[in-house]
Amino acid sequence: MRKFSSYGPVDNDLHYYVPRKRLIEKAARQLIGENPFKGGSYITVWASRQCGKTWVMREVLWKLKKDDRFNVLKLNLESLKSEKNLEKIVGCIADMIVNGLGLKNVSIKTFMEFGSLFSRETMETPLILIMDEFDVLPEEVISGLAGIFRNIYIERSEDQRPSSEKQYLLHSVALIGVRSVLGVENVKGSPFNIQRSLHVPGLTHEEVNSMFRWYEQESGQKVEQEVIDRIFYETQGQPGLVSWFGELLTEGMEDCIPEKGTVTGKKFERAYKFAVHALPNNNILNIISKVRVNPYRDIVIELFKTGKKSIFTYDDPYLNFLFMIGVIDREEAAHEFHTRFSCPFLQKRLFNYFSREISRTGDYLHDPFENLDEIITKTDVNIVNLIGLYQKYLEQNRDWLLKEAPRRKTDLRIFEAVFHFDLYMYLKLFFQDKGGKVFPEFPTGNGNVDIIIRYEKKMYALELKSFKDLNAYKKGLIQAAEHGSELKLDQIFLIFFTEGIDDVNRQRLETEYENDQYRANVKPLFVATGK
């Protein structure tokens, strides 16, 4: 029986997969060309890690090999990522092509010689060349090879003979990589400006659903629709993560052993808990390794802010990089694009990582002799008093707690998200020995942070925001009421962080809000972060 596979190219005979026929056909059509007589396109194929670039282009390879008009060759350049000698890299790539095509008496050792490899004097049949992991090469090699391909493309476009009779027989090229290897990151400008771009997108809800229904047919084990819907929501169709959850639910990993019988929402929640807190995932670990250092660290922390959404622009090299490696995505607004995290699961993993890395919460969350009866009982939690306890903790420990907190370079103010991280860690530690569970939720991918507390079969929702002004305060109350109703709660707590608030405004603005349109009442609470 097939299995779910989340690492490396999928094997069509062994693993569950999505055919992606339209995408494969599109790539093949670009490489053959709208008019094969004139030649094909020189394209870049890009997506973030584990989105299926290699698998898609492998399927394109098999499809094109059926066309006798062309030689088709796919090179994997991963083995060259540690090589520093530029000429040696070019020589190795040339040897791969020579050996792959079975060319005789051809030896290419330098950049100057590389272009001649594709001339009529060297080969007889038009070549479609696919180069995987092209972005692992040093920037100088990328730029040099791109320049050679560009020159060949231009010379071919000026040669009016059929593709098979042109001076250069490099019919088309596909360069596969994670990042925009031939654009923003090349400070000297891109010489490869004749290419078309093929993006390998995530899976649709329909495609994710088809994989698990396929599993049902082969295994006889039912998967509830609620589980499939949740997997799509948490991963937004990222192929590697979709299949990883498929593995966890059907095969398990380490202590996450799947139970027999129908895959229910409850079983998913258990696997999801392991996925968020206890299991390694190469894709997530790779992303964390890149965003934990600046300038990306500050940008990602800033994305957790709730005051306003961040503008997305492809021309920003840092946002471009985060987009290419799968940290962020874009969403269309009325007249602009906003930045959002690529999927809720990644957002949770990053929130957890930065919470632990930045928050310096101590062992003493309150005076050990403090009476907590008005905060927590055997059946209930008083959120108002609990936030008051945190406020007192913040006031008493602010100096050392925030001494090394990351600050914005523009005005040296502490990032808003630092207080979200700190409150989250404080609550986790507070409930650690009391039987409660605390976890973050992100309803929209940006602009909203929820902290959910589950205690004695009750759920408490805390929506976190920074206080901007009274107009935003009023909008926040309405949005929180709507959100609380969606969660089927009678009450939701809206926590505003502000540098300071006097007693008069606190009493006025912490009044419970009711809206006839929504079921949930909103209890606003203010946390003063300044001295």
- At 238, the pLDDT band (50, 70, 90 cuts) reads very high
> Is the pLDDT reported for residue 293 higher than 50?
yes
DSSP state of 370: -
The pLDDT value recorded for residue 179 is 55
> Is the pLDDT reported for residue 504 higher than 60?
yes
Residue burial 152-161, b: 16+ Cβ < 10 Å; e: rest: bbeebeeeee
DSSP state of 246: H
- At 415, the pLDDT band (50, 70, 90 cuts) reads confident
Question: What percent of the chain lies above the pLDDT cut of 70?
Answer: 95
Q: Model's pTM, two decimal places?
A: 0.86
Cβ(195)–Cβ(145) below 8 Å: no
The pLDDT value recorded for residue 321 is 86
pLDDT digits (tens, 9 = 90+) for 202-228: 999 999 999 999 999 999 999 999 999
Place of tokens 């929130």: 351
- Alpha-carbon gap, residue 355 to 473, rounded angstroms: 26
- Alpha-carbon gap, residue 174 to 131, rounded angstroms: 6
pLDDT digits (tens, 9 = 90+) for 458-476: 999 999 998 989 999 999 9
> Is the pLDDT reported for residue 262 higher than 50?
yes
Question: What percent of the chain lies above the pLDDT cut of 90?
Answer: 62
As a whole number, mean pLDDT of residues 49-68 equals: 92
Q: Where are the beta strands (DSSP E) in 77-150?
A: 127-132
> Is the pLDDT reported for residue 448 higher than 80?
no
The pLDDT value recorded for residue 188 is 46
- Alpha-carbon gap, residue 288 to 324, rounded angstroms: 14
> Is the pLDDT reported for residue 187 higher than 60?
no
The pLDDT value recorded for residue 333 is 80
Amino acid at site 289: S
> Is the pLDDT reported for residue 192 higher than 60?
no
- Alpha-carbon gap, residue 132 to 129, rounded angstroms: 10
Q: Which residue has the higher pLDDT, 480 or 411?
A: 480
DSSP string, 327-351: SEEEEE-SSSEEEEES-HHHHHHHH
Query: Within 10 Å of residue 1's Cβ, how many Cβ atoms?
Result: 9
- Alpha-carbon gap, residue 403 to 371, rounded angstroms: 29
Q: Residue ranges of the domains in the chain?
A: 21-199, 205-279, 286-528
pLDDT digits (tens, 9 = 90+) for 311-347: 888 788 888 889 888 899 888 887 889 899 999 999 9
Pick the CATH number of 21-199 from 3.90.220.20, 2.50.20.10, 3.90.550.10, 3.40.50.300: 3.40.50.300
Average pLDDT, the chain: 89
Q: Which residue has the higher pLDDT, 404 or 165?
A: 165
- Alpha-carbon gap, residue 13 to 1, rounded angstroms: 10
> Is the pLDDT reported for residue 295 higher than 80?
yes
Pull the structure tokens for residue 71.
Answer: 């030689």
Cβ(301)–Cβ(417) below 8 Å: yes
Alpha-carbon Rg for the chain, nearest whole angstrom, is 28
- At 447, the pLDDT band (50, 70, 90 cuts) reads low
Give long-range contacts, CB 8 A cutoff, 24+ apart: 335-341.
336/311, 336/312, 337/311, 337/312, 337/313, 338/309, 338/310, 338/311, 338/312, 338/446, 339/303, 339/309, 339/310, 339/311, 339/312, 339/446, 340/309, 340/444, 340/445, 340/446, 341/303, 341/442, 341/445, 341/446
The pLDDT value recorded for residue 186 is 43
Place of tokens 């890690």: 49
